[in-house]
Structure 1
Amino acid sequence: MSSHHLFRSREAAVPLILAACAGIGLLALGTQAQAAEQDAVQFSGSAALTSDYVWRGSSQTQSDPAVQVGFKAAAANGFYGSVWGSNVEFAPQTHASSEFDFTVGWAGQVAEHWALDVNVLHYRYPSTTSDLNWTELNGTATYRDNYWLSLGYSNEALGTQKRGLYSQIGARFPVNDALRFEAAAGHYFLDDVYDRSYSHAQLSAIWAVKALASKANVELRLTAHATDRNAERIFGDSLAGSRIEAAVQASF
């Protein structure tokens, strides 16, 4: 997701190439699915309705609701490709109304109790008249499925030609099979972009609901978000600060 008020007009050759690579990756996984055994590639998806699309502490929809859909193909060797989309609402002059995220990566166990996910993620905004597209390299280490540390680096952070590094640490706390809590804190190093960085935190309560009419797994999520003053100076008081997000998501 890009900055809400920052936009530029430059050639997007590198992001276009990376987006093409993402598409090729998905096509390759699809080809493997036909050539290999039936269980060699797994396909999954998700659909969500949220009261506010909040990304790294700030709203991407001017605090309005969002509809989000994603699909993923994962090979048995750990390589995967995915595409995810949502409606967005940035500054009026950008004309941005939709976001598509293309990801190619690898995920798997690297040691007892430890898992790793590394990927290239391309953010794309097809409806905008400005060049907001950008690409990020991400990595997440997970311990015992409940604790994680993530890093994301880009030399065109938030749709600029500047460097940015995002870090997040988080944990989930299962109460029972249906209820769990999740907490995370992040810091976005954006000194090259805005001459300042910012921090945010979030706390979620997630309730898993059994879907009676289908095989989909349904979750109800309530999340409290908070940012520091630097985030409000960067994105504005109406997009950063404190907010509550409610969402329902179905995974299949």
Structure 2
Amino acid sequence: MSSRVPAILRRISATARTRGLRPCTALALFALLGTGSAHAGSSGSLSLTSDYIFRGVSQSNQRPALQGGVELSAAGGAHAGAWGSSISWLSDLSTTAAPVSSSIELDAYAGYRGKLADAVAFDVGAQYYAYPGDFPSGFNRADTFELYAGLTVTASDRLSLGAKYSLATTDLFGYVDSGGSGYLDLSATYAIAPGWALAAHAGRQWIEGNDAFAYSDWKLGVTRSFDHGASLGLAWTSTDADDALYTNPHGRRLARSTVALTLAQTF
């Protein structure tokens, strides 16, 4: 889920690179987790959002997106999951001369969670972002593999703080020669009342070899949780990205300030 820039994706490389953890690898990990422990658990989610925003940039051309995911976890801390969403940012690049057809993002991830102290938890792992579809010859595919490490500190009964860093070991979402790009995610969540939570986020995307496209993003949101796993969230997002570089062929400014409403159900 990430900063996607149509302008840079129109640059063609001689070889499309798609390395790393494939979705089928995650399926194998699911099987191992499901059979390796009598205490293994599972969870899932379905959501509908008015705009799929990832790292401050719209992935759905500022239109609604349907999303869902599932995760398996073992008692020892190992976990693996898959997540998907409808998207349009790749298909929006399509032209008669170079048609592009890709309307879904499929992610697979695996990692390990544990505790460094009673109030300090960590999560380390890897994530693969896949974009199946039809692309013109020589198109630099957006498929991306990242390693990540994160910490969460429970500061009080109401406040939790988080920090996470993701490092791309392949080209980042179609940017040519961008291996080594990184994203820093800082977050805070505060429970203001039973069933209500405020969330704040600040992030920074570095793109190796493409400094002009680097940017920072921010988000402020509120979530209302209901019985049986339902929730409704409202979030404002903004960035300092260069509008000229983050405007798609339809004239939509994908990194502009925006508000998104999300209805979710966990199970």
Fold conserved between structures, TM > 0.5: yes
Of Structure 1 and Structure 2, which has the larger fraction of its residues in helix?
Answer: 1
Q: Tell me the CA shift for residue 233 of structure 1.
A: 3.6
Tell me the alpha carbon deviations over residues 55-78 of structure 1, each in whole angstroms, 9 at most, x when there is no partner: 000100000100001000000010
Letter in structure 2 aligned against 1:146:
S
- SS of the equivalent of 1:25 reads helix
Q: Is 1:183–2:194 an aligned residue pair?
A: no
Question: Which residue is equivalent to 1:242?
Answer: 257
Cα distance in 1, alignment partners of residues 18 and 51 from structure 2: 32
Tell me the alpha carbon deviations over residues 108-140 of structure 1, each in whole angstroms, 9 at most, x when there is no partner: 212120000111000001124252211111111
- SS of the equivalent of 2:27 reads helix
- 137, 143, 148: which one aligns with 1:133: 143
Letter in structure 2 aligned against 1:29:
L
Q: Is the contact between residue 164 and residue 193 of structure 1 (CA under 8 Å) also seen in structure 2? A: no
- SS of the equivalent of 1:95 reads coil
Q: Tell me the CA shift for residue 107 of structure 1.
A: 1.1
- SS of the equivalent of 2:127 reads strand
Q: 1:135 to 1:245 in 2, by over 3 A?
A: same
What TM-score does the superposition give when structure 1 sets the normalisation length?
0.88
The number of equivalent residue pairs is 240
Cα distance in 2, alignment partners of residues 148 and 206 from structure 1: 17
Question: Which residue is equivalent to 1:26?
Answer: 30
- Percent of aligned pairs with the same amino acid: 26
Q: Which runs of 5+ in 2 are unaligned?
A: 95-99
Cα distance in 1, alignment partners of residues 211 and 28 from structure 2: 34
What TM-score does the superposition give when structure 2 sets the normalisation length?
0.84
Q: Which runs of 5+ in 1 are unaligned?
A: 211-215
Letter in structure 2 aligned against 1:186:
G
Cα distance in 2, alignment partners of residues 86 and 121 from structure 1: 15
Cα distance in 1, alignment partners of residues 143 and 222 from structure 2: 32
Q: Is the contact between residue 40 and residue 75 of structure 2 (CA under 8 Å) also seen in structure 1? A: yes
Cα distance in 2, alignment partners of residues 50 and 234 from structure 1: 25
Question: Which residue is equivalent to 2:217?
Answer: 200
Cα distance in 2, alignment partners of residues 24 and 193 from structure 1: 35
Cα distance in 1, alignment partners of residues 213 and 17 from structure 2: 26
Cα distance in 1, alignment partners of residues 130 and 208 from structure 2: 23
The RMSD of aligned alpha carbons is: 1.9
Question: Which residue is equivalent to 2:229?
Answer: 217
Residues 70-219 of structure 1 correspond to what in structure 2 (within 5 A)? 70-90=69-89, 91-93=92-94, 94-129=100-135, 130=139, 131-144=141-154, 146-155=160-169, 156-160=171-175, 161-162=177-178, 163-210=180-227, 216-219=228-231
